[in-house]
Amino acid sequence: MSEENKKIDSLKEKLFYTQKHASEIISDDETKKADEFCDGYMDFLRTAKTEREATEYFVEKAEKLGFKPFVRGEKYKCGDKVYLNNRGKAVILCVMGKEPVENGIRLSAAHIDSPRLDLKPNPLYEDNELAYFKTHYYGGIKKYQWTAMPLSLHGVMVKKDGSKVKVNIGEDDGDPMFVVTDLLPHLAAEQMKRTLSDGIRGEELNILIGSRPFSKDEGSEKVKLNIISILNEKYGVTESDFLSAELEAVPALKAVDIGFDRSMIGAYGHDDRVCAYPAAEAVFSVTEPRYTAVAILTDKEETGSDGVSGMKSEAFEWFVGDMCKVQGAELRDCFAHSICVSADVTAAFDPNYPEVSEKLNTARLNYGVGLHKFTGSRGKAGTNDAPAELVAYMRRICAENGVQWQMCELGKVDQGGGGTVAMYMGNRNIATIDAGVPVLSMHAPFEIVAKYDCYMTYKCVLAAYSAEKAYC
């Protein structure tokens, strides 16, 4: 190579922005750390398939690590670890920092709900000697993906007297499973004429749950009677208890390694537990941060973040406001000096469907955590649009902490797009940036992520928590 070509190559390296595959950067030791981290994540996924189960998991782990329930009015010192369990469906984890909260806090926000099939309030019925549950799908799904797949049932039934029955059927060896049936191709000529979005309709997502009649009954609805008798014997419930229940049908699939090289994870619920888990692990990893570190793991993101356990809930303001009050600080000052990493997944480039992505600005598997200056749809509708100063701040702390990252968008401009909880944090006058793991087959019953990207998301959030330099 001539000296001139060397100079040109050197200039390109200096001036061009290039994203690099993990294989070009990562050491064998870092690969081992990433795999070990993801082993823990996969164990979490096998345990927590719903927002209630995720909350229970994080609270239990937090308590083992010395976290205590948050007490209003109590004065905490640097290093104190507290949590707030919001109705068993969302959780806030916090490690107190050296700086007063009026100088800002360091936040990560993720959600622990996922697309699924919820049982309707009056779900149980019999049709032609088969028993079914009626469902109402939750969040954005491709309805056809939920047929002919083993399903498990998770949730709670709250009886009229207030006692609570926990339900988890279909996960353990020997458990029965459930299914939404589909037509055989031989008889599906009319169905196949439907558009893909209309191929399976919402009211066709009925879950098959039984076929044997109650042996002693000679009347109608004998199969239904047998099912409710089984539930009564096992849980002590009656049909009316479905009225005050939260029951979710989710894929009865385990988190598993994907690929001969075991470089990826296939599972239900990566969106967004693949960011919630790193966010929680990051706050578990800090001891005496300069700025108070807070992880907010909420419910209801897939339906707009409304409700008492969603990101729009004032539970978050009350938590931070209580900390401010004890320190004699104003909540608005705290928020104005805070930063938030809104940790949610992004779409990974899929070579099978290249037409929906713009290659210069799309996330790729094994290129690290995906940072978004903005999300939203088409003309940035529903975006937070992070300040350039915050993007630069994140670039700096990622570089200082060995975090591999990539800048990305979610699809071509006219294609659609999507957003997450970042806008709700930004609306509180908190400087917020989107960051998360690229996912293949997002919102499908079985999603794919790269282990390396999951680990780098943890390192990214930990870098934000551990940063000594002020943002503003």
Q: Could you tell me the pLDDT band of residue 13, with boundaries at 50, 70 and 90?
A: confident
Under DSSP, is residue 341 helix (H, G, I), strand (E, B) or coil?
strand
Tens-place pLDDT, residues 390-448 = 999 999 999 999 999 999 998 999 988 888 899 999 999 999 999 999 999 999 999 99
Choose among 95, 447, 106: nearest CA to 265. Answer: 447
Q: Give the model's pLDDT for residue 415.
A: 87
Q: Give the model's pLDDT for residue 416.
A: 81
Mean pLDDT throughout 232-255? 96
Cα 322 to its chain centre, rounded Å, is 27
Q: Give the model's pLDDT for residue 12.
A: 84
Mean pLDDT throughout 2-30? 87
Q: Give the model's pLDDT for residue 215.
A: 80
For a pLDDT cut of 90, what percent of the chain falls above it?
88
Q: Give the model's pLDDT for residue 3.
A: 81
Phi, psi dihedral angles at 436 (to 5 degrees) = 180, -175
Tens-place pLDDT, residues 181-197 = 999 999 999 999 999 99
Q: Give the model's pLDDT for residue 382.
A: 87
Both tokens of 401, joined, read: 């902490």
Tens-place pLDDT, residues 149-167 = 999 999 999 999 999 999 9
Question: Mean pLDDT of all residues in the chain?
Answer: 95
Q: Which of 200-214, 308-322, 410-424, 445-459 has the lowest mean pLDDT?
A: 410-424
Give the Cα separation of 111 and 421 in Å (integer): 8
Under DSSP, is residue 294 helix (H, G, I), strand (E, B) or coil?
strand
Q: Could you tell me the pLDDT band of residue 11, with boundaries at 50, 70 and 90?
A: confident
What pTM was computed for the model?
A: 0.95
Q: Is the pLDDT of residue 456 over 70?
A: yes
Q: Is the pLDDT of residue 218 over 80?
A: no
Domains and CATH numbers, the chain: 16-114+268-466 (3.40.630.10), 116-251 (2.30.250.10)
CB 472 within 8 A of CB 290: no
Q: Is the pLDDT of residue 217 over 80?
A: no
DSSP output for 390-455: HHHHHHHHHHHTT--EEE-BSS-GGG-EE--THHHHHTTT-EEEEEE-EEBSTTSSSEEEEHHHHH
